Amino acid sequence: MRHILRQRDWIADPWRYLGEPDAGTPQHPDVIVPLAQLRGDPGHWAAPPGGRLGAALAVTDAPEALSDLLPRLALVAVEFPNPGDGRGYSQGRILRARLGFRGELRAAGKGVRLDQVFLLARCGFDVLELADGVDVEAARRALGRYRVAYQPGDPQVRLERQRFFA
């Protein structure tokens, strides 16, 4: 069963991606739908009773395309296919800082590794689907790897000192 690191808690993932066998069942009503399908028929994807709706962005997707749907979304999942692909950091920042998205922002994929955790949290990702093999305790510690930073960032990373402010 897939686990996620939400804030500092390691929990069973209540969400299912569209296409997973138990997605949308009464046990797992919360479903993450790829942007293309969501955009194709937004009416169809009205949240099921008792369930919540999430969107999944591929690396090439523009988060701006979600802007009118955001009020209906409880979650946006952003893809990090490998640690070197940093497009998701910009997608996350746009969702948080510019579009004002306050729901769960999830980082998913093989790129969500120990040495990315701190930057992801600073960009506003509050849920991490850690890649295989990443030690959970180490990931928790990595959320506080630096206690100072120059740039503004998401307040979930508590800093002792910060130079520049938005």
Helix-strand-coil split of the chain, %, nearest 5: 25, 20, 50
**Size of residue set near another protein by CB under 8 A:** 34
Among 7, 40, 147, 156, contact with another protein (rule: CB under 8 A): 147
To 10 degrees, the CA torsion angle through 66, 53, 114, 9? 140
DSSP 66: G
Structure tokens that stand for 128 in this block: 């991490």
Q: Output the smallest distance, CB 86 to another protein, in A.
A: 3
CA 94, CA 50: separation in Å to the nearest integer?
Answer: 29
Among 33, 105, 108, 123, contact with another protein (rule: CB under 8 A): 123
Quick note: the x/- pattern for another protein over 2-41, rule CB under 8 A, is ----------------------------------------
Determine if 158 is a binding residue for another protein (CB under 8 A).
no
